Amino acid sequence: MFSIGPNELMAILIIAFLLFGASKLPELARSLGRSMGEFKKAQREAELELIEFEKSVREGKYTASEKRSKLEKIARDLGIDPTGKSDEELLEEINKMLPKAEKAEP
pLDDT digits (tens, 9 = 90+) for 45-80: 888 888 888 888 888 887 888 888 888 888 888 888
The number of residues in the chain equals 106
In a domain, 1, yes or no: no
Q: Residue 11 and residue 104: Cα distance in Å, rounded?
A: 40
pLDDT at 100: 53
In a domain, 60, yes or no: yes
Q: Which domain holds residue 14?
A: 6-97
The closest of 49, 40, 38, 57 to 75, measured between CA atoms, is 49
Choose the weakest-confidence range: 6-15, 73-82, 96-105: 96-105
In a domain, 102, yes or no: no
pTM: 0.53
Asked whether the predicted pLDDT for residue 86 surpasses 80, the reply is yes
In a domain, 21, yes or no: yes
In a domain, 45, yes or no: yes
Asked whether the predicted pLDDT for residue 105 surpasses 60, the reply is no
Q: Residue 45 and residue 66: Cα distance in Å, rounded?
A: 20
In a domain, 104, yes or no: no
The tally of domains found in the chain comes to 1
